[in-house]
Amino acid sequence: MTKQAAPDAPIGARRGSDVLERLRERPPALWYRGERVLDVTLHPAFARGVSTLAELYDLQWQHADVCLFDSPTSGRKVGRSFQMPRTHEELRTIGRAMRTWADHTYGMMGRAPDYLNRAITAYAAGASFLAEADPRFGANALRYHEHLRERDLSLTHTLIPPQANRAVGPAGQADPFLAARVKEETDAGLVIRGCRMLATLPIADEIMVFPSTLLKGGDEDAPYAFGFVIPSDTSGLKFICRESVDYGRSHFDHPLGSRFEEMDAVVIFDDVRVPWENVLLYRDVERCNRAFARTGAVVHMAHQVAVKNVAKCEFVLGLAHLLVDTIGVERFQHIHEKLAEIWVNLETMKALLRAAEADASLDEWGVIRPAWNPLDAARNLFPRLYPRMIEIIQQIGASGLVAMPTEQDLKGPLADDIRHYYQAARAEAFDRIPLFRLAWDVSMSAFGSRQVLYERFFFGDPVRMAGALVTNHDAELRALAERVRELVRRGRDEAFADISRQPGEE
């Protein structure tokens, strides 16, 4: 008989059964429709998303050469997304490992744990930036990264204050404890009270409570400025989950929602005790404002996002093409235009990803960091591309997206009618119907709309992301403007060369 490891013992890369076992032993503090969820592996709102999460961990063992590497401290096989890449080849392999997971969910579980594994790995690599504020914080980042890597635990994260009054920051809200803030500082650590949004994948083992990647705090926000990590079952922590987009139906009826529900939750901190060992940033607003950029965490996260975008574009393009073929609309010109549009989106995402990996360079922490500009372009572009691609699915699918019987109908007394009347140019009814149910699930169901909202917002408000982009590229934009100014001046000088008085001169 194999000896069972202690619940928190380091075991290296996990398998699906380890993931399920840990969630049963240490259930995250999830609340769903008024009740505490006691076992996410059985609860109908969560169980099938959890099961897909577990599949990802089995998958990493099936592709161990890509998805795992040897731990630098223990020699165990550990998840590739915890690796600090020192060479371009290592970075590309991390990309391939992330692709293995993204393909498994067709990009529909954006919050596969590799996303935040990349973040915490970057924070550990940039530990000296954290240590400048307090040597303990740098040591904490390194120790925590190792803790996570050697146990292969998953993370969720929450970065922004609750959506109460967006005209003011966390310090300006009606109640100073609306946004999560430090209530008390003790010898043992911090006591946190208040609320944060929004934790996707609250079925994760631990949570990163960090500053925003985008929003900048002011001096008054010091009590709200921190970065810490705690287990998701910490006393006083509560995740209020949204209604599940898994309707509990069959894979036939609800092909995406029945598999890829990653869930989102608002997080409440009811005097949560955070030991100093878990703190990485504290009260240093300026450092919090810079942390994601300076450590490179935002870049490594955006790398995972670009990989996911490619997988998602491929899925939508394949789906669109199959719809076109099935109902015989392939000869219409606007259909070509629409398929071409999705293809261009796919090639754009592939090119940006490839550029980010090819132009990666050694950063100040000795890590090969993907090039930021292509990833910044991808994260600014995709929130517009994805909703448009979903619009195209609606435009191609048209009434077929509602003329869509269920599995029960197909097994009911009208089965013969359905078989006859739901036939398509190139598919029998019983093949056409699940295809259109898939198109419905990506474009119209609660699952599909949540995906669109996710792509619009998860990396931050696109409006403010664009603002940050313009500010960050100020010098580049000015240099380009100067070249144009020169051309304008040349034309002006040529036009007025033969008269002594220059325009504007009295």
CB of 375 to ligand FAD, least distance (A): 17
76, 357 in Cβ contact below 8 A? no
Among 191, 197, 351, 444, binds ligand FAD (CB under 6 A): 197
Task: Assess 158 for contact with ligand FAD (CB under 6 A).
Answer: yes
Q: Report how far residue 6's alpha carbon sits from residue 20's, in angstroms, rounded to the nearest whole number.
A: 15
Task: Assess 200 for contact with ligand FAD (CB under 6 A).
Answer: yes
429, 417 in Cβ contact below 8 A? no
The answer for residues whose C-beta is within 8 angstroms of residue 382's C-beta and 6 or more apart is 305, 309, 349, 455
Closest CA to 378 of 348, 401, 400, 340: 348
How many residues contact ligand FAD, by CB under 6 A? 20
**Residue closer to ligand FAD, measured from CB, 158 or 173:** 158
CB of 402 to ligand FAD, least distance (A): 25
Residue 209: C-alpha distances to residues 187, 274, 370, 451 (Å) = 20, 11, 25, 23
SS3 sequence, 264-327?
A: EEEEEEEEEEEEHHHEEEECCHHHHHHHHHHHCHHHHHHHHHHHHHHHHHHHHHHHHHHHHHHH
**Residue closer to ligand FAD, measured from CB, 130 or 245:** 245
**Residue closer to ligand FAD, measured from CB, 80 or 157:** 157
DSSP string, 103-121: HHTTT--TT-THHHHHHHH
Interacting span for ligand FAD (CB under 6 A) from 191-199, 306-314, 361-369, 411-419: 191-199
Among 54, 91, 198, 468, binds ligand FAD (CB under 6 A): 198
List binders of ligand FAD among 436-465 (CB under 6 A): 450, 453-454, 457-458, 460-461, 463-464
Task: Assess 206 for contact with ligand FAD (CB under 6 A).
Answer: no
Q: Report how far residue 153's alpha carbon sits from residue 231's, in angstroms, rounded to the nearest whole number.
A: 10
List binders of ligand FAD among 28-47 (CB under 6 A): none
385, 310 in Cβ contact below 8 A? no
Among 13, 133, 159, 203, binds ligand FAD (CB under 6 A): 159
319, 439 in Cβ contact below 8 A? yes
CB of 185 to ligand FAD, least distance (A): 24
What is the residue type of 216?
Answer: K
Interacting span for ligand FAD (CB under 6 A) from 2-10, 23-31, 80-88, 195-203: 195-203
CB of 91 to ligand FAD, least distance (A): 24
233, 70 in Cβ contact below 8 A? no
Among 3, 166, 420, 483, binds ligand FAD (CB under 6 A): 166
Interacting span for ligand FAD (CB under 6 A) from 83-91, 159-167, 268-276, 437-445: 159-167
Task: Assess 199 for contact with ligand FAD (CB under 6 A).
Answer: yes
**Residue closer to ligand FAD, measured from CB, 153 or 198:** 198
**Phi, psi (rounded to 5 degrees) for 341:** -60, -45
Interacting span for ligand FAD (CB under 6 A) from 22-30, 196-204, 253-261, 403-411: 196-204
List binders of ligand FAD among 237-266 (CB under 6 A): 264
Tokens of 134: 């307090």
Q: List contacts with ligand FAD (CB under 6 A).
A: 157-160, 163, 166, 197-200, 264, 450, 453-454, 457-458, 460-461, 463-464
